[in-house]
Structure 1
Amino acid sequence: MQEVILALIAGLIVGFVFALIKLPIPAPPALAGVMGIVGVYLGYKLYHWLLPIIQS
C-alpha cells in the first residue's frame, strides 16, 4: 500500500510541476485513456496468472 501512496504523491507532484511550467499533462486527459492503461496492466497480470495453467 505504501508503494501506491508514494506513486500517487509522485504523480501529484509531477502534475503540479507540469501545470506550473504550462506543459501539457503527461497522462491521458480522459477517463477512457486511463481505463485503457488499466486494461493493459490487467491484461499483463492475467497473462502471468494464466501462464502456469496454459503450460500444464
Structure 2
Amino acid sequence: MKEIILALITGFIVGLVFAAFKLPIPAPPAFAGVAGIVGIYLGFKVFAWMIPMVTQVFK
C-alpha cells in the first residue's frame, strides 16, 4: 500500500511538471504504474485549475 501511495504522490508531482512543460503524459504498466498515472492526471488537472487563480492574484 505504501508503494501505491508513493507512486500516486510522485505521479501527481510529475503530472504538474509535464503539464507545465506541455508534455504528453507517460503510461507505465503495473498497478503501481497505474497509481502513478492517476497521480499524473490529477496533477495535470490541478495545474490547469490553479493557473487562472494564480494569474488573477498577480494582476
Length-normalised TM-score, structure 1: 0.47
Give the number of the structure whose alpha-carbon radius of gyration is greater.
Answer: 1
TM-score by length of 2: 0.45
* Higher relative contact order (CA closer than 8 Å, sequence separation 6+): 2
